[in-house]
C-alpha cells in the first residue's frame, strides 16, 4: 500500500495565489470578468526586452544548425552567463563572488525550496511574519515543522514579526536559530534593509554558526543608493549566507524562467559529529543529480540582460513599474490610506481600513470595484489587517484601479 508524505496534510488551505485565483474565478462567473484588474500575484505584464528576444531568437536558430546544436548543458549553467552575472551583479559592487559560485536555475521559488535538500532536518528555522509563503510551506512539506496551530502558524518555526512598530524590520531572534530566511527588498511589505541593519544579521549568523537564506529577487527595484543589493556587500556574508536572485521581475522572465543561486565556496555547515562540511559541493551534487540545467536559449536571453541594450531596456521596465508604484502610493495616501513599501520595491503594503480583516478587504475590493489584491494575512499572522497591491501592470490598469478604489 502506497503511503503519502503526510507532511502535506499539515498544510493550511491552498497555496495563497491559487486560493485567490479560485475566488476570482467564482466572482467572474457571475460578473463581467473583463472589468477585473489583477494587482494580486506579482506577475510582470510588459513585453520581454528586445535584446533578450533577439538573443533567444538567434540561439534558437543556432540550435537548428548542425554546428550550433546543443544537447544537455552544464547543470550549473553556461560559464559565459555565470561570468556575466559575477561581473555585473557582484564584482561591480565589490562582492567577491566568482562564476563557479553561481548556479543558474529555472527560478528562485524552486531554489529556495530545493535548498532544503542539502540541509539537515533538525535545524531550527526562523522566518519573518508576514513572509513569502514558499519558505514556510517548503519546510512543512519536508517535515521540518510540527502541526499547524489554530492561528495558522506551525509548531517548531520561529516567527519574527515585521510591522509598523519595528518599521517592518525583524528583531534578531531571542534564542539561537540555525537557518534564517530574509527577503529584501521585502515581499510582501516592500520594506528594505540598510547595510548597518543587515550587518547585524550577518554578525548574528557568524556568531551562532547560522545560515542566512537571503532572497534578493527584487534587488533591481532599489532606488536608494544606500540600500545593499546583495548580502555579500556585508563583510563576512560569504561565510554565512546563500543568496537567491531572479530574472523574473527585472527582465520580465516569469514565463521564460531563469534565476540563479549563489553558494560561496567558503560556506560551511556541520555534520552530526561537528565536522565542517562545505555546502557548495553538496549543492553541486544535488543539482547534477536532480536538475538538467536551464535551456541554452533561455540562458542566452538572460545573458542579453547584461548587454548595453539589455541593461537599458531592463532599466526602462523597472522605471515603468516603479512609476506605477509611485502613482499607487500617492493616490492611496491622498485618499487617506496608510501605505507602506513602493519606494524601493514593486509592492504596496496597505493598512486595511475600518477594522476589516485582510480577506474582508479582498472581498470588498473584488465585489465593489473588481480589483484584485493579496490579503496580508495570507503571508502570515502579522499580515492580518494589511493588504498587498502589486505594481506589475499596465499604466492604464493601474490608473483605472486607483480611480476605482479612491472613489469607493
- The stretch near ligand MLT (CB under 6 A) out of 39-47, 116-124, 176-184, 353-361 is 39-47
Question: Judged by CB under 6 A, which of 37, 38, 39, 42 binds ligand MLT?
Answer: 42
Nearest CA to 263 out of 234, 237, 289 is that of 237
Cβ atoms within 10 Å, residue 121: 9
Which position among 76, 105, 187, 210 is part of the footprint of ligand MLT (CB under 6 A)? 187
**Which three three-digit cell numbers place residue 43?**
506577475
Q: Could you tell me which stretch among 40-48, 55-63, 75-83, 140-148 binds ligand MLT (CB under 6 A)?
A: 40-48
Q: Where does this chain touch ligand MLT (CB under 6 A) — which range of 35-43, 150-158, 271-279, 361-369?
A: 35-43
- How many residues interact with ligand MLT (rule CB under 6 A)? 5
Q: Between 109 and 229, whose beta carbon lies closer to ligand MLT?
A: 109
Cβ neighbours, 10 Å, residue 74: 16
Cα separation, 337 vs 330, in Å, equals 10
- Among 260, 257, 271, which Cα is nearest to 112's? 260
Question: How far out from the chain centre does Cα 292 lie?
Answer: 22
d(CA 226, CA 228): 6
Q: Residue 64's Cα: distance from chain center in Å?
A: 35
Stretch that binds ligand MLT, among 38-46, 48-56, 147-155, 278-286 (CB under 6 A): 38-46
C-beta of 279 vs 389, nearer to ligand MLT: 389
Helix (H) or strand (E) holding 17: helix 16-29
Residue pair 259/248 in contact by the 8 Å Cβ criterion: yes
Site for ligand MLT in 230-269 (CB under 6 A): none
**Comparison of 296 and 347: residue with beta carbon closer to ligand MLT:** 347
Q: How many CB atoms lie within 10 A of CB 237?
A: 27
Instruction: In whole angstroms, give the CA distance from residue 372 to residue 20.
Output: 8
Q: 99 or 346: whose CB is closer to ligand MLT? A: 346
**Letter string b/e over residues 339-357, b meaning 16 or more CB atoms within 10 A of that residue's CB:** bbbbbbbbbbbbebeeeee
Q: ω before 93 within 30° of 0 (cis)?
A: no
Contact 338, 351 (CB under 8 A): yes
Distance CA 195, CA 233 (A): 8
Least Å distance, CB 382 to ligand MLT, is: 16
Contact track, ligand MLT, 66-105, x by CB under 6 A: ----------------------------------------
State which of positions 106-135 bind ligand MLT (CB under 6 A): 109
Q: Residue 128 CB, nearest distance to ligand MLT (Å)? A: 14
Among 11, 21, 36, 41, binds ligand MLT (CB under 6 A): 41
The minimum distance between CB 322 and ligand MLT, in angstroms, equals: 17
Report the nearest approach of ligand MLT to the CB of residue 41 (Å). Answer: 4
DSSP code string of 66-103: TTT---S--TT--HHHHHHHIIIIIGGGT----GGGEE
Kindly tell me which of 187 and 210 has the beta carbon lying closer to ligand MLT. 187
| Interaction of residue 341 with ligand MLT, rule CB under 6 A | no
- Candidates 41-49, 206-214, 323-331, 355-363 — which segment interacts with ligand MLT by CB under 6 A? 41-49
Interaction site with ligand MLT (CB under 6 A): 41-43, 109, 187
Amino acid at each position: 500500500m502506497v503511503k503519502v508524505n503526510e507532511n502535506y496534510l499539515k498544510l493550511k488551505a491552498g497555496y495563497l495565489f491559487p486560493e485567490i485565483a479560485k475566488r476570482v474565478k467564482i466572482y467572474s462567473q457571475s460578473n463581467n470578468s473583463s472589468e477585473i484588474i489583477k494587482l494580486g500575484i506579482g506577475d510582470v505584464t510588459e513585453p520581454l526586452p528586445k535584446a533578450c528576444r533577439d538573443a533567444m531568437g538567434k540561439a534558437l536558430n543556432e540550435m537548428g544548425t548542425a554546428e550550433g546544436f546543443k544537447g544537455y548543458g552544464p547543470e550549473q549553467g553556461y560559464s559565459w552567463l555565470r561570468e556575466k552575472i559575477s561581473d555585473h551583479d557582484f564584482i561591480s559592487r565589490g562582492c567577491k563572488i566568482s562564476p563557479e559560485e553561481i548556479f543558474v536555475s529555472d527560478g528562485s521559488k524552486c531554489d529556495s525550496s530545493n535548498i532544503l535538500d542539502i540541509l539537515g532536518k533538525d535545524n531550527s528555522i526562523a522566518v519573518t511574519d508576514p513572509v513569502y509563503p514558499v519558505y514556510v510551506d517548503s519546510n512543512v512539506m519536508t517535515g521540518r515543522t510540527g502541526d499547524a496551530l489554530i492561528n495558522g502558524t506551525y509548531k517548531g518555526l520561529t516567527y519574527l514579526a515585521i510591522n509598523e512598530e519595528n518599521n517592518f524590520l525583524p528583531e534578531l531572534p531571542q534564542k539561537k536559530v540555525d537557518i534564517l530566511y530574509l527577503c529584501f527588498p521585502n515581499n510582501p511589505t516592500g520594506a528594505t534593509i540598510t547595510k548597518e541593519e543587515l550587518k547585524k544579521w550577518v554578525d548574528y549568523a557568524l556568531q551562532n554558526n547560522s545560515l542566512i537564506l537571503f532572497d534578493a529577487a527584487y534587488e533591481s527595484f532599489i532606488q536608494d543608493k544606500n540600500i545593499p543589493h546583495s548580502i555579500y556587500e556585508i563583510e563576512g556574508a560569504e561565510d554565512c549566507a546563500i543568496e537567491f536572485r531572479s530574472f523574473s521581475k527585472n527582465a520580465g522572465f516569469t514565463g521564460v524562467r531563469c534565476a540563479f543561486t549563489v553558494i560561496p565556496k567558503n560556506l560551511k555547515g556541520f555534520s552530526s559529529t561537528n565536522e565542517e562540511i562545505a555546502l557548495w559541493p553538496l549543492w553541486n551534487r544535488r543539482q547534477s543529480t536532480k536538475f538538467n540545467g536551464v535551456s541554452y536559449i533561455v540562458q542566452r536571453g538572460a545573458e542579453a540582460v547584461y548587454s548595453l541594450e539589455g541593461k537599458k531596456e531592463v532599466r526602462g521596465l523597472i522605471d515603468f513599474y516603479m512609476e506605477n508604484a509611485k502613482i499607487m502610493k500617492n493616490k492611496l495616501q491622498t485618499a487617506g490610506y496608510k501605505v507602506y513599501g513602493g519606494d524601493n520595491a514593486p509592492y504596496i503594503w496597505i493598512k486595511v481600513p475600518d477594522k476589516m480583516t485582510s480577506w474582508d478587504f479582498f472581498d470588498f475590493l473584488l465585489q465593489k470595484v473588481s480589483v484584485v489584491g493579496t490579503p496580508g494575512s495570507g503571508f502570515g499572522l502579522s499580515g492580518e489587517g494589511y493588504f498587498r497591491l502589486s505594481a506589475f501592470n499596465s499604466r492604464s490598469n493601474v490608473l483605472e484601479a486607483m480611480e476605482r478604489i479612491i472613489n469607493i
